[in-house]
Amino acid sequence: MGLILILGYVAAAILGLEALYAVVRFLRLFVLPKAGFRYNLSKLGQWAIVTGSTDGIGKGYAKALARRGLNVYLISRNYSKLQDVEKEIKAINDKIDVKILAIDFSKLSDIYSQIESEIANLDIGVLVNNVGVSCAYPEYYLDIDKQVTQNIVNVNIVSINEMTRVVLPKMVAKKKGAIINIASISAETPTPLLAVYAASKSYVDSVTLAFQKEYQSKGIIIQSVLPAFVCSNMSKIRRSSLFAPSADTFATSALNTVGIANRTHGYWPHELQACITNLLPRSAKISLYFSQLSGLRVKALKYLTKQK
């Protein structure tokens, strides 16, 4: 048997194993949970904390957790919106308790001491670190106000560190808990015109996987979720589609993956999208994203000009 033929068999075997792994992963993440084979989150604790919970993915997670029977603690900036979401969640499950706390995560003063004090006596089972901000539209770095980029760091990065520092000790003490950190598919590739935002999400993804390795022996689940587009105020997508689902659809799907995968795109079309784009060389992806976002930037600037 020739060397080339042997190498061909080896390559075919590797591809076959990779395909089998992909099929098994797909079934475990997106099929079996719908049949009831999913992690029992309620055994981790009575309460779930969700940051950035008045819109989009955060609100979707809060509602999905309520359906799973957990009490929900909503932390976000706008108090009146928090009250509205509180009513929505109580309408979903009137047997659970809901608490709200208005916090602006862009301010670093003593907000985390306040949060720590507020939740001191609660049995926290799940923390969803969702709060996040981006630029109003794709833009060149030097044309973005310095405060905007500082807010991205404070909200997207510092909040992950500090909320984990507040909640994780309580979980370690009882040897159970789950922390879900919402990154982004943009974390996988440097993204021109959204450079600081994408880099902040790369930090979220990286630190999450490192924390998971550090604390898995303590019984703690720490998961990185990397969604693509979802209907929300941040994405400015109003109509749902297969590849841009409603926040409720995405959050329900992603929550089903907790305890199964440490890193996931949360929703099967997003998983497929990532698989396809990751076939491209990184340089090609960077160029592709730059081209797409340049077009969005032009449209945004034209819209802003008309509004003047």
For the chain, give the longest Cα–Cα distance.
74
Sheet holding 220-225, edge to edge: 98-102, 71-76, 47-51, 124-129, 177-182, 220-225, 263-264
- Of these residues, 137, 197, 267, 289, which one is catalytic? 197
Is 197 one of the catalytic residues? yes
Give CA angle at 42 (40, 43), nearest 5°. Answer: 75
CA 25 vs CA 74, 277, 280: distances in Å: 32, 18, 22
Tokens of 275: 């698989």
| HEC secondary structure over 59-114 | HHHHHHHHHCCCEEEEEECCHHHHHHHHHHHHHHCCCCCEEEEECCCCCCCCHHHH
175-195 in b/e form (b: 16+ CB < 10 A) is: eebbbbbbbbbbbbbbbbbbb
Which residues are annotated as catalytic?
197
